[in-house]
Structure 1
Amino acid sequence: MNPAASSSPHPAARLAVTGDPTVRSALEKALVFDGHNDLAWESRVEAAYATDGLGEVAPHGRFHTDVPRLRRGGVGAQFWSVFVPTSLAGADAVEATLEQIDFVHRLVAAYPDDLALARTGDDVRAVWADGKVASLLGAEGGHSIDDSLAVLRVLSRLGVAYMTLTHNDNTAWADSATDEPVHGGLTDLGRDVVREMNRLGMLVDLSHVATTTMHDALDVTAAPVIFSHSSCRAVTDHPRNVPDDVLLRLRDNGGVLMVAFVPSFLSESWARWRHGGEVGPEPRVTVQDVVDHIEHAREVMGVEHVGLGGDYDGFVRFPVGLEDVSTYPRVLEALATRGWSADDMAALAGGNALRVLDAVTSGGR
Structure 2
Amino acid sequence: MSIELHRRAVVADTHNDLLMAVAARPPASWARFFRERWLPQLRDGGVDLQVLPVFIDDGFRPEGALRETLRMVEAAHVLAEGNADEVSLCRDGEEIDQALADGKIALVLALESAPGVDADVELFSTLHRLGVRVASIAHWGRTPLADGSGEDATGSRLTAAGVEAVAELERLGVIFDVSHLGATGVEHVLELATRPVMATHSSARALRDHHRNLTDDQLRGVAATGGVVCVNFVAGFLSADPAEYTLDRLVDHIEHVASVAGIDHVGLGPDFIREVTLELTPPCCEDMSALAGFDVNATVPGLEGPRGLPLVTEALLRRGHPEPDVLQIVGGNVHRLFQKELGRPA
- 1:89 lines up with 2:61 in the alignment: yes
Q: Mean Cα displacement is larger for which, 220-229 or 307-316?
A: 307-316
Alpha-carbon offset, residue 331 of structure 1: 0.3
Structure 1 spans left out of the alignment, 5+ residues: 1-20, 60-65, 271-282
Instruction: Write the distance in 1 (CA, Å) between the matches of 2:121 and 2:33.
Output: 37
From 227, 231, 256, give the equivalent of 1:296.
256
In structure 1, the partner of 2:327 is: 346
Instruction: Write the distance in 1 (CA, Å) between the matches of 2:59 and 2:310.
Output: 36
Q: Deviations over 1:159-196 (max 9, x none)?
A: 00111121111112211101365571212221110011
Instruction: Write the distance in 1 (CA, Å) between the matches of 2:80 and 2:132.
Output: 15
In structure 2, the partner of 1:331 is: 312
- 1:34 lines up with 2:6 in the alignment: no
Instruction: Write the distance in 2 (CA, Å) between the matches of 1:42 and 1:67.
Output: 13
Aligned AA (1:322): L
In structure 2, the partner of 1:236 is: 208
Aligned AA (2:309): Y
Alpha-carbon offset, residue 141 of structure 1: 0.5
Alpha-carbon offset, residue 23 of structure 1: 5.0
Q: Deviations over 1:169-227 (max 9, x none)?
A: 11122111013655712122211100110000000000001110111001111111010
Instruction: Write the distance in 2 (CA, Å) between the matches of 1:177 and 1:100.
Output: 25
From 332, 340, 345, give the equivalent of 1:359.
340
Q: Mean Cα displacement is larger for which, 181-190 or 90-99?
A: 181-190
In structure 2, the partner of 1:148 is: 120
From 109, 114, 128, give the equivalent of 2:86.
114
| Identity over aligned pairs, percent | 34
Tell me, what secondary structure is at the counterpart of 1:149?
coil
- 1:159 lines up with 2:139 in the alignment: no
| Residues 124 and 353 of structure 1, relative CA distance in 2, 3 Å threshold | same
Instruction: Write the distance in 2 (CA, Å) between the matches of 1:298 and 1:54.
Output: 33
- 1:171 lines up with 2:151 in the alignment: no
Alpha-carbon offset, residue 361 of structure 1: 2.8
Tell me, what secondary structure is at the counterpart of 2:270?
coil
Q: Is the Cα–Cα contact under 8 Å of residues 15 and 200 in structure 2 kept in the other structure? A: yes
Q: Is the Cα–Cα contact under 8 Å of residues 177 and 208 in structure 1 kept in the other structure? A: yes
Alpha-carbon offset, residue 231 of structure 1: 0.5
Alpha-carbon offset, residue 284 of structure 1: 5.2
Alpha-carbon offset, residue 130 of structure 1: 0.1
Tell me, what secondary structure is at the counterpart of 1:78?
strand
TM-score by length of 2: 0.88
Instruction: Write the distance in 2 (CA, Å) between the matches of 1:362 and 1:89.
Output: 28
Alpha-carbon offset, residue 362 of structure 1: 6.2
The residue correspondences of 1:39-118 to structure 2 (distance < 5 A) are: 39-45=18-24, 47-48=25-26, 50-51=29-30, 52-56=32-36, 59=37, 66-118=38-90
Which structure has greater helix proportion?
Answer: 2
- 1:310 lines up with 2:270 in the alignment: yes
Alpha-carbon offset, residue 288 of structure 1: 1.2
TM-score by length of 1: 0.84
Tell me, what secondary structure is at the counterpart of 1:204?
strand
Alpha-carbon offset, residue 54 of structure 1: 3.3
Instruction: Write the distance in 1 (CA, Å) between the matches of 2:174 and 2:153.
Output: 26
Q: Is the Cα–Cα contact under 8 Å of residues 227 and 257 in structure 1 kept in the other structure? A: yes
RMSD over equivalenced CA pairs, Å = 1.8
From 230, 246, 253, give the equivalent of 2:218.
246
Q: Deviations over 1:262-300 (max 9, x none)?
A: 111111123xxxxxxxxxxxx451211211100000111
Aligned AA (1:356): L
From 17, 24, 28, give the equivalent of 2:4.
24
The residue correspondences of 1:181-192 to structure 2 (distance < 5 A) are: 181-182=153-154, 184-192=156-164
For these two proteins, the number of residue pairs brought into alignment is 323
Structure 2 spans left out of the alignment, 5+ residues: 277-295
Aligned AA (1:149): V
Tell me, what secondary structure is at the counterpart of 2:96?
helix
